[in-house]
Structure 1
Amino acid sequence: MRGEPRGVVTRLRAAVTLTHQCWLFAVGSAFFALATAPGLADAAGETAANALCFVGSWFFTSAAWVQLVRSGPEGSLQWQSAATQFVGTVLFNVSTGASVWAHRAIAERGLVWAPDAAGSVAFLVSGVLGVAALTAGAGAWRPRSTDWQSTWINMAGCVAFGLSALGAFVRASGVTADEALANAGTFVGALCFLAAALLPLGPRPRRRWGSIERA
């Protein structure tokens, strides 16, 4: 019985693949990019845009879970990066879900912005850990490597999401601190995550490093 948990993890790792991980991240990123595309909220309404982000967040969480299952060994930089990212995606589930129905400044700040900011911090920490893992496994400068490109594009997306959270802070009046920055940061971050997810799916992927492939 002592070996059963490890056997379950082994079976899970065999059942999910990098392709699953990348496509889930790509679809989730596409939802976020569409929701924050210039003019979409004006044309379809904020509720529709928020709903798109909510749907996208669940693809993110599914992808992050796959990445966590595939990462290892437990406690390594790769695993810590994946685990932190998974926590961030769950926080985005909370914030995007709350944004669909929170219409008061107090609710928006407490139920939407707070977990959104915490999720963005988790993504930033995850991105830094991913870069550290990449550097330890393959060196600091490997621009021709698909993994290197994907990891750094992912890092750029994490920074963009962090800036978005700063812009989305809800003042007591109910007005966001910088709505343009909030939308642009999410849009740019989503495009970065989309590119990072699609890179490993290219026709001629280069040699991957270690036991983790960032998306």
Structure 2
Amino acid sequence: MRKFDCPSCGADVTFRSAQSVYAVCAYCQSMVVRTDVDVTSIGIMAALPDDMSPLQLGSGGYFEEQPFTLIGRLKIGWRDGLWNEWHLLMADGRRGWIGEAQGAFSISFELEGALPDDVTATFEYCLPLLKGGEGADEARPGFLLELGGTTLRAVDIKLATCLGSEGELPFAAPKGRRTVAIDCVGKEGEFATLDHDGREAHAYVGRYVEWDAFRFTNLRPLEGW
């Protein structure tokens, strides 16, 4: 864990993960980028819209009997709604994501190495949606692809927009950042999401998990929970 003074307000900005490059100051909402010895402000982030999530930065939980802590969040919007992407730090140093959408939860970790050819072809098929050019209306789910040794079916393709961010993140996520997001599922509850912002492509592989299985702690107080 390392602490820096926010270059905008002087408050502590903490990096729990050695791999985190960006963080949002909890006091002035400046996004800072970390170098080897210092941090630099790259702008003010938008305040996150209110929601009814019981999760918060600092919430803990378990996955495959290993503890983790939530260290960052993206609030994502698309044409038909909103969802949260929680950045997590495992006790063994791995980083991943918990997707929280309409009471459903998934956990995923980034696929390392070069993306498979069929994933690259999938992005080429779907990128017109991001660029708004010819073929933007042709991208449809339903196709199959191999990812992480598993056959998955694309069930949703959408244009997603970042509405705000907080905590530690592996990339800059200012308000308005747009991506093509492709959700895929397998026959045994496997889950994957493909993400492309027009410059970089990422694939995250995991599975859906029931709320109770995470054994969450340090939840945000909400009436009814």
The question of a shared fold, defined as TM-score above 0.5 by the shorter chain, is answered with no
Shorter chain as denominator, the TM-score bin is under 0.3
With the length of structure 1 as denominator, give the TM-score of the two structures.
Answer: 0.26
Structure showing greater relative contact order (alpha-carbon pairs closer than 8 Å, 6 or more residues apart): 1
Given the two structures, how large is their TM-score scaled by the length of structure 2?
A: 0.25
More helix as a share of residues = 1
Specify which structure has the higher proportion of strand: 2
